[in-house]
Every structure is written in C-alpha cells, then in structure tokens.
Copies of this chain bind each other. A is one copy, B any other.
Amino acid sequence: MTNKDAHTPASVQDAQSEEAGKSIGWHKAYIEGTRPDLRVPVRQVHLTNGQSVTLYDTSGPYTDPLVETDVRRGLPPLRENWIIARGDTEEYAGRPVRPEDDGIKHTSPRGGLRNLDAVFPGRPRQPRRSRDGKAVTQLAYARRGEITPEMEYVAIRENVSPEVVRDEIAAGRAVLPANVNHPEIEPMIIGKRFLVKVNANIGNSAVTSSIEEEVEKMTWATRWGADTVMDLSTGRNIHTTREWVLRNSPVPIGTVPLYQALEKVDGKAEELTWDIYKDTVIEQAEQGVDYMTVHAGVRLPYVPLTANRKTGIVSRGGSIMAAWCLAHHKESFLYENFEELCEILAAYDVTYSLGDGLRPGSIADANDEAQFAELRTLGELNRIAKRFNVQTMIEGPGHVPMHKIKENIDLQQEICDEAPFYTLGPLTTDVAPAYDHITSGIGAAMIAWWGTAMLCYVTPKEHLGLPNRDDVKTGVITYKIAAHAADLAKGHPGAQEWDDALSDARFEFRWEDQFNLALDPDTAREFHDETLPAEPAKTAHFCSMCGPKFCSMKISQDIRREHGGSKAEIEDGMAQKSKEFAASGNRVYLPIAD
C-alpha cells in the first residue's frame, strides 16, 4: 500500500529524523489506531521525487532507532495490557522446567528443576492461561462479535476494515496466531482474503548450530519479510533456544511439539506417550508458542497406503507417528486424544497447524490416496477444533507437479471449510537439489494465487543440509516474490502500487529509488555497481545493458514528449491516435495470404 491508501500520511508517525531516514532510503514509521498503544509499524520508502511509498513491515522494533533492543531482555510486551484488560486469563505457577526439556539427561545439582530465570535473563514472568470456563481465543472473540485490539491492528496492516478481519476469523477462513504468553508479537493475520504470508523455518539440530545463531536467524528472517517463524530445533537446548527466540520475536512462532517429545524419549518413537506429548505441548504453550503443527491426521490405517510410494513418508512428524502406530499396532495417540488437546490449546490461544504428515516427497507420490486420506481426516479435525474455539490452519504439500497443484487447494478448501491452507512449496520437480527454493517458489506462487494463505519457505539447502544465514535470506526473498506475485494475481487492493512505484522509478532512471523499493535493496545496488560502480551512474539516464549511446527507455520518453506536453494533453492526443487507428479497422499494410 502507498500513502494514497486509507491512512493518510498525517497519521503516520516517523520513528527517526528525516536525515537519518533518507540516508538509508527508508525509515520505520507507525500508523496509530483508535488507542495510543496501538501503533502499526510500516516501512516508509522515501523517493527522490519527493513522494513516499508505505510498505508492510515485519522487521519488528529492531529497525526502529528510537527503540532500544537487547536480546538478553527481550522485546517490550506490546500486547500485555490488551490481554490483561480482557480479564479472562490468569497467571499461574506453571509447569517446572526440567533438565530434560533441554535434552539434558543427568540430574542437576538443584534437584532436577530449573526456573525460567535460568532459562532467560529478561523480565520475570509467569505463564498465563484462561480462567475456568473462559474462551480466550481470537476465534471466540470474533464469534462473539468483538473486535479485539489485535484485530484492529491487522486491519490497519492489511488496509481493510476491522469488520472484515473479524468476519474472516469468525468464519474460520483466517487465523490470528497470538498466544496469551507471547505478548511481544506484532499481530498479523493468515487467510486467503489477506496478503499472502511467508513462514521461515529455523532450528538447531543434533548435528549443528547454537542458541545465538537461531535468535539471529529469526531476526534476520523477519528483517527480510518473514511473517512467522517456525522453530524446528531437535537437538540440545531446545527449551532454552525457544525461550530466547520467543522473547525476542516480533512475529508469531510455530513449533512441532512432537520433535521435542521425541527428544525426551531419546529418539525412540515407540516410547512416546500421550502424557509426554501433552506435557510438552503445555511446556511450549506456557512459553508462548503461537501455533503448533500437530500430525493428528497420520492414522494407523493410512500408514500402509505409503508402502508403495516412491519416497514413503518424508514428513519428520508424519514418520514419527507412523512408526509409533506400527510399533504398537494402535491408532495414533494424537488422533485419539484430539479433543483434550483442543482444550489445552484453547486455554492459551495456541493455533493449530494441522500437519500433513503424509505429504508427497516426490513428483511420483503427488495427490495419492495416502495424502488425500489424511486431508479428509484433517477436515474432520478442523471441525472438532472449531467446536473448542481453537483457531486452525491446514498444512499442505510438498512435491507436486504443476498440473496437480490446483486439485490440492480446491480439495483442501472444500474439505476443510475454507480454513487457511499453509503449504510447503510445492516443489514442481525433484531434479534440482540446491535450487529447491526455485522449484518450490514456482509452485508456491501458483498455489497462493489459487488460495493458499501462508507459504512455508524452502531454502537452497532443502534435501542437502541446514540453511545458513544466506540461505535463510534467499528462501525468504524467493517466497516474498511468490507471495507478492500471488497478491497481484489475486488483485489484492494496493498490491500493484508497489510494482508501479518501482516501474515508475525504472522508467525515469531513478536508480536509488529502484534500489530502495526493491525487495532486497542491498543486492540490487551491488549488482548495478558491479558494472557501473561510479556514483554518477546512479543518476545516469542509461545502464550497462545498452550503454550510453542507445537506450530504449530514453526513446520511450521521447515518444511521450513527441505526443504531447502535459499528461492530460498526452492522453487526449493518444486517444485521438488510437481512434484513428481503430477507425481504419486496424488494417495492416500487406495483404494476407494463407
């Protein structure tokens, strides 16, 4: 959206001096809502022609020079007063943090217990949950007709009316993931009626990476536009890493509780129990995880359907549950205890991300019976979750060739009552390891156009290794492209104004504006400077592609001059020319012969 939109520039508060802003080409600003503590951050890009463009911003307080941030203290609890004011939640002692939560097996000197202070040095906090009988989810509020501050916040962000936000949440067509224990987040919404969102995965593993690295990856991913982040850690310090990520994250955090539960039983899937899983979900809900992937759709009867697949079960969660089912020859404990799980998630407003544990892992396995059998179950679980007022989205594939993509979204929307679809890609071919951000970016753009609400990014390292900082950035940028291409194709109001602003800058040789409006200004500037590094080239009316002697843009500007003076005159003149041409029957000179 640009400043032509609903919110006038007057309501935009600058976060830094004009000088400082201009030096980096953009600055952080805020649009105030109906209350002073409701300030929606935007990225204000200053153009050299004096205009400015306002873009959606996910980077959090880190890009606001007026806010002092300290990863050891965490972000300010933006939503805390809103949550307290509702009066429907209460603090409580919470589950004690145990060494095994961090994958530590031996008993610590303090008798096997650790407290949150030891986990994170920031402000002291106790977990919060619903008071008895209170429905505290955004879905419950929306159904009751209440517009929460969170809903107003996303309405401003999306440039729609709060009523639209409330309607979409109430209908289950959108989710606003916001755990009552994660007051630090800047609210955002996931639904096909809104801008397409992008999730970035981070997480250490048994093989590599540290706590600091993961926090840094999270802020790095949101700096480039990630709307949510999933912490998929599987190794040591899993609890502590998550605490640090949550306390410092301006975006909703998702997890797969099954991963941590498996660590607690030393990686032996068959030793998992409902109690261990439930305890892990409560542990994570108390920390503030906003949405959880739950693979409750991997049912015992579906497991054999995967035996003749090219690549079996490729979802880690899906294969854990399949292994458990097989080991015990019993129905999934997640499926059997789904209603109890709903009660837990409802108490914290944790959003379900119903996992597609049987998603295809190769082109050969796309849209097969195993995949769609699970999808049908997810549709049923979605209805159960709604009974408990739990916000719910549905995860989707995976590896799918282009001609089979639309069936996925159409079927999901039908079976799951239009609940938001959250897809991984899909990857449109298997043959390009090291380029799966691209094989999947293609599928992601298409499925988002057709209705997927959030895209889970894929990095160049997919299938090969853990992403580093560069891979995270490449994954996020690729998926922001897919998401924005879909916003354009869906005709999202305001989406094209960004393209128009950049194309205007391109046509008028405003190089600095092109860079500053780019999804990745740094790389755009760097690439330009590789061939034309000198400062004058930034204002030159040509580029290295054609050189100074001849330039197509220049000729186009001559044409514009040739055919009129003011914009109005041009339009008059051109309309006349067009009419003349049409009147001549659009006839061409040469006779046609077949």
Contact = CB atoms under 8 A, between A and B. Distances in A.
Given A205-B547, A552-B318, A527 B269 contact: no
A514 interface: yes
A226 interface: no
Contact of A552 (B316, B401, B435, B571): B316
B507 A312 contact: yes
Nearest to A463: B506
Nearest to A507: B311
A423 to B, nearest CB: 15
Contact of A431 (B205, B498, B553): B498
A142 interface: no
Interface stretch (A87-95, A131-139, A345-353, A441-449): A441-449
A389 interface: no
Contacts of A478: 435, 438
A432 B465 contact: no
Contacts of A562: 326
Contacts of A437: 438
A228 to B, nearest CB: 20
A531 B573 contact: no
B524 A464 contact: yes
Contacts of A517: 431
Interface string A430-465: 111111011101100110010000000000110111
Contacts of A52: none
B206 A549 contact: yes
Nearest to A482: B442
Contacts of A383: 592-594
Main secondary structure on chain A at its contact with chain B? helix
Interface stretch (A5-13, A186-194, A360-368): A360-368
Given A464-B524, A570-B307, A574-B304, A207 B590 contact: no
Interface string A480-514: 11101110111100001011101110110000001
A273 interface: no
A464 B432 contact: no
A118 interface: no
A85 interface: no
A560 B506 CA distance: 56
Interface string A205-216: 111100000000
A381 to B, nearest CB: 8
A384 interface: yes
A370 to B, nearest CB: 10
A519 interface: yes
A544 B208 contact: yes
Contacts of A477: 432, 435
Interface stretch (A69-77, A156-164, A577-585): A577-585
A78 interface: no
A448 B504 CA distance: 29
B546 A234 contact: yes
In order of increasing CB-CB distance, the 9 nearest A-B pairs are A312-B556, A206-B547, A362-B503, A319-B552, A304-B577, A402-B489, A465-B531, A319-B555, A267-B549
